[in-house]
Each structure stands twice: as C-alpha cells, then as structure tokens.
C-alpha cells in the first residue's frame, strides 16, 4: 500500500490512531488514510473476533466500523479526516492486534451457538447469559450525548433523482436542458460514480455536465425510503454536512432511482481477511484517492470490469500475481479457475488457486481483489412500489421496467445498474431514456 502522489503540505493533517500519529490528506476518508499508512486491521468481528479490514469502501460491508472521537460504530470509509481526530478500533481486548477473545475461533472450530450453550443448566445458563450480555453489541456507548439535530429540510420539485452516477447524471442533464426542475441526491462527495472512479472502460460515455442553474444537487446525502402522507409521496434522506447530520424530505410526484449496485463477494475460505477488496474499491483508491492498495495483488472474478481493473493496476505500477477468471469463457490473459482459500493470519499473504484444467497451487500475493458485476440496488424502488423479480440471466433480483425505465408504480422510474449490471455508457443511455420519459410526463 502506497500513495502515488505525496500529500500537499497545506492539506496534511495528523490523526491519533490509538496513540500512533498517522499522516492523512485532509478530507479523505479515515479508512483510506489508515490503509495508506499500512494499518490493515481496523476492527474485530463481533462473534469470533477475527481481524477485519475495509472491503467495499462504500459503507455497505461494516468491516471498517470504528470509534471516532468517542462515537462508536462509524463507517470509517465515510468519515473525512481532520486534524487531531481520535481513532480507536472496536470489539477487542486488550487490543485489536492481540485480542484474547480471538481464542473463541480456536476453541470452537465447528462454530459457536451461544443461544443454546448450557441451555437448561440453571447456574451455567445464568452465567452464560451474563457473559453474552457483556460481550454482545458493537463497541461501547458514546463518550458524550450527540448534539441536537437541525430541523428537517423540505424540498419540493417535479422529479426526485437518487444516484449521481452515469445514469442519474445523464437523466439530470436531459431534464435540466428541458427546463424541468429536479432534486438529485448523491451519497458520495462528488458526482459521476464509476464513470469517474471505476476501472476505465473501452468506450466510456461522453462528458456529462449539468446545465448551469439546472435543478438542485445534494451531495453526501443518503436516501432512506419513500413514504406517503396526506400531501402525497415524499423521499426521506439524511444529509451529512460538516455541522452534523440532517433529515431531508423531498416532495415530488415523480422519482427516478439510479443508485447503481452492491459489490459482490466470491465465496472462498478466509474471504473475510483484511487485504480482500472489492474491485470498485480498488479502482476508487487508485483513480480518486491516488493510492495503490497492493504491489502484487491477485485478481479474481468475471465480467468486463476484471480485465479493465488489471490494466489499471498495471498502469499504476502494480504487478498482479495472477488474474483468475471464474466465468465459462475467461478472457485470454486470465487463468480459468477459482480461488479456494486465502492465506494469512492478520492479512492476505497468499491464495490457493484451483485451475479448471486441474491442479492447485499456492500463489504469493499481498491482496485479493474481487471484481464481479454488482447486484442491483433495488430496495428503494421496491419500497416505492416497483416490482422486483428474479432474473436468471443475471443470477439475481432486479427491478421490472419498460424500455424507458417506467415501473408498475405510478411516477416511479429506474435507470442504470439497478436494472442489471452494464457499462457506464449503457447506464448513461438508460438514464437519458428515463429522463426523456419523465420530461414528457411533466409536460403533459
């Protein structure tokens, strides 16, 4: 793990990581700063106290939860670094490096069912219940009560868009060009999604630029769900400005959901070791954060992002140990097969690869990068009334919609990877079609 460019002197800040000073770029996620400084283990798992490190860097895996300035269970991949910030790892005693409770994993190799342990044995049952209560939960209570929150903010518009990736941005661009008011919510700190930070594609979409003064854009704002009251439907979201979280309510008769997809994890032994990353997390580290996460990574998965990611890492100075394609038709430079096991105590040091042609071998590597097509993030659309069904061609569930992104729920449209994984160019075209349909509805 190393930075591809030094931190500018005017942006350098020091973090207090359990008594150790860590240099960070002001504003970058805490998890990224710790990874760049060589700290892989950011927590311990709740039950077996196995080491945990960031996997997705998108607040979807819970493997980077930390205590920050006395507040527990914060996604460190979402907390911007600032000077003198205090960072502590959780769920360990006396420390995350030497955690005595890690013995649970060794004592119970077949698994531990704490619900049934000593059940029916009066004294032992009471003792076990007390121990479980002390060990259960994530972290300790906060040092202080949180400050009072600001009152909810209310926005009203013709179209509410969730997701500022290629699909959502293309739809907003079209709506803005036709003078249709919209509110776009994006949980990241910048628009573009994988169009800007993913592994470069052979034919990316053309530049997506919102017309000046078009609509309202709210970054660092996470949509929660769609609800209805006496005035009609509204979208509830949480914004995360520096002054603290705030509830945002967006009232609109029309919604476009383009939140993309959830990164996937391939099953193999020890796939929860620190040093196992999603492909999109790695491409984000390289392209947006300027950090090379490994010198000799092993890449695993399938789909068009896998070879693109291998090229990105090579162009950035890495030397992939191996690229393993587990699809029926692997790309030429890859090995056809699968990863059976990751090796290492506190982080990845090697992997056992099984070739489809036969035989296994252990490959030294300093990270395992899992790149597979994402699963559609259909939850918000379903909450709004859209129908979701299993797609055998995708091997997962996706939202049902017509060619313009219109779902069975009145006023609810979808675009991009929520319909099924594709390229950024395909997502942008999907967004334009949905945007045109929405503009037509507003004009009626």
DSSP state of 205: P
Count of Cβ atoms closer than 10 Å to residue 249 Cβ? 15
Total residue length of the chain: 444
Q: How many domains does the chain have?
A: 3
CA distance linking residue 283 with residue 198, whole number of Å: 5
Give the domain range for residue 162.
153-262+375-443
CA distance linking residue 193 with residue 196, whole number of Å: 6
- Out of 371, 405, 435, a domain closes at 371
pLDDT at residue 386 in the model: 97
CATH number at residue 281: 3.50.50.60
Supply angle C-alpha 407, 413, 419, rounded to 5: 75
Which distant-in-sequence residues (6+ apart) come within 8 Å of 385 by Cβ? 226, 407, 408, 409, 410, 412
Q: Distance between alpha carbon 102 and the CA centroid of its chain, in Å? A: 27
Verify that 53 and 73 share a domain, yes or no.
yes
pLDDT at residue 365 in the model: 98
pLDDT at residue 250 in the model: 98
pTM of the entire predicted model: 0.92
Verify that 223 and 75 share a domain, yes or no.
no
Residue 179 lies in a domain: yes
- Out of 333, 351, 371, a domain closes at 371
Verify that 121 and 17 share a domain, yes or no.
yes
* 444 residues of the chain, pLDDT tens digit each: 899 999 999 999 999 999 999 999 999 999 999 999 999 999 988 888 889 999 999 999 889 999 999 999 999 999 999 999 999 998 888 888 888 888 888 877 888 776 777 777 888 888 877 776 666 667 788 988 888 888 999 999 999 999 999 999 999 999 999 999 999 999 999 999 988 899 998 888 877 888 777 899 999 999 999 999 999 999 999 998 888 899 999 999 999 999 999 998 999 999 999 999 999 999 999 999 999 999 999 999 999 999 999 999 999 999 999 999 999 999 999 999 999 999 998 999 999 999 999 999 999 999 999 999 999 999 999 999 999 999 998 889 999 999 999 999 999 999 999 999 889 999 999 999 999 999 999 987
Interhelix angle 279-287/305-315, nearest 10 degrees: 40
Tokens of 172: 């907003």
Verify that 309 and 324 share a domain, yes or no.
yes
Verify that 292 and 249 share a domain, yes or no.
no
Asked whether 416 and 390 are in contact (CB, 8 A), the reply is no
370 strand-pairing partners: 278, 300
Residue 144 lies in a domain: no
Sheet holding 153-156, edge to edge: 153-156, 246-251, 232-239, 221-229
Supply angle C-alpha 241, 242, 244, rounded to 5: 70
Q: Is the peptide bond before 54 cis (omega within 30 degrees of 0)?
A: no
pLDDT at residue 133 in the model: 65
Verify that 221 and 304 share a domain, yes or no.
no
Verify that 255 and 386 share a domain, yes or no.
yes
pLDDT at residue 128 in the model: 76
Residue 271 lies in a domain: no
- Out of 80, 101, 135, a domain closes at 135
Which distant-in-sequence residues (6+ apart) come within 8 Å of 398 by Cβ? 376, 378, 388, 389, 391, 418, 419, 420
Which distant-in-sequence residues (6+ apart) come within 8 Å of 418 by Cβ? 167, 257, 258, 259, 260, 261, 376, 377, 378, 381, 398, 399
Verify that 129 and 8 share a domain, yes or no.
yes
pLDDT at residue 136 in the model: 63
């Amino acid at each position: 793990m190393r930075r591809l460019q030094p931190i500018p002197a005017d942006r350098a800040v020091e973090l207090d990581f359990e008594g150790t000073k860590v240099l960070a770029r002001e504003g970058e996620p805490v998890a990224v700063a710790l990874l760049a400084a060589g700290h892989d283990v950011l927590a311990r798992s709740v039950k077996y106290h196995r080491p945990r490190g960031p996997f997705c860097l998108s607040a979807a895996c819970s493997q980077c939860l930390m205590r920050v300035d006395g507040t527990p269970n914060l996604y460190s991949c979402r907390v911007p670094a600032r000077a003198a910030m205090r960072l502590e790892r959780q769920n360990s005693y006396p420390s995350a490096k030497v955690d005595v409770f890690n013995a649970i994993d060794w004592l119970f190799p077949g698994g531990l069912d704490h619900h049934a342990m000593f059940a029916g044995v009066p004294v032992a049952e009471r003792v076990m219940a007390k121990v479980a209560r002390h060990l259960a939960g994530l972290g300790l209570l906060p040092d202080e009560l949180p400050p009072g929150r600001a009152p909810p903010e209310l926005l009203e518009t013709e179209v509410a868009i969730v997701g500022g990736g290629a699909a959502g941005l293309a739809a907003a661009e079209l709506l803005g060009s036709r003078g249709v008011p919209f509110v776009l919510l994006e949980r990241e700190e910048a628009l573009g999604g994988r169009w800007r930070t993913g592994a470069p594609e052979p034919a990316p979409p053309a530049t997506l630029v919102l017309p000046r003064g078009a609509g309202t854009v709210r970054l660092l704002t996470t949509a929660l769900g769609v609800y209805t009251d006496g005035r009609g439907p509204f979208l509830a979201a949480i914004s995360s400005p520096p002054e603290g979280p705030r509830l945002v309510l967006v009232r609109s008769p029309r919604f476009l959901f383009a939140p993309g997809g959830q990164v996937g994890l391939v099953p193999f032994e020890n796939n929860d070791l620190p040093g196992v990353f999603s492909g999109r997390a790695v491409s984000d580290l390289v392209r947006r954060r300027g950090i090379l996460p490994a010198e000799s990574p092993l890449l695993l998965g399938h789909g068009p992002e896998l070879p693109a990611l291998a090229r990105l890492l090579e162009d950035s100075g890495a030397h992939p140990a191996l690229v393993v394609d587990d699809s029926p038709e692997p790309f030429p430079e890859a090995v056809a097969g699968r990863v059976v096991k990751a090796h290492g105590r506190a982080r990845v040091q090697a992997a056992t690869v099984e070739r489809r042609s036969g035989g296994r071998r252990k490959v030294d590597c300093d990270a395992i990068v899992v790149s597979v097509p994402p699963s559609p993030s259909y939850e918000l659309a379903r909450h709004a009334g859209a129908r979701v069904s299993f797609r055998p061609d995708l091997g997962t569930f996706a939202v049902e919609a017509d060619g313009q992104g219109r779902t069975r729920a009145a006023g609810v449209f979808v675009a991009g990877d929520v319909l099924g994984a594709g390229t950024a160019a395909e997502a942008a075209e999907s967004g334009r079609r949905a945007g045109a349909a929405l503009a037509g509805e507003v004009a009626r």
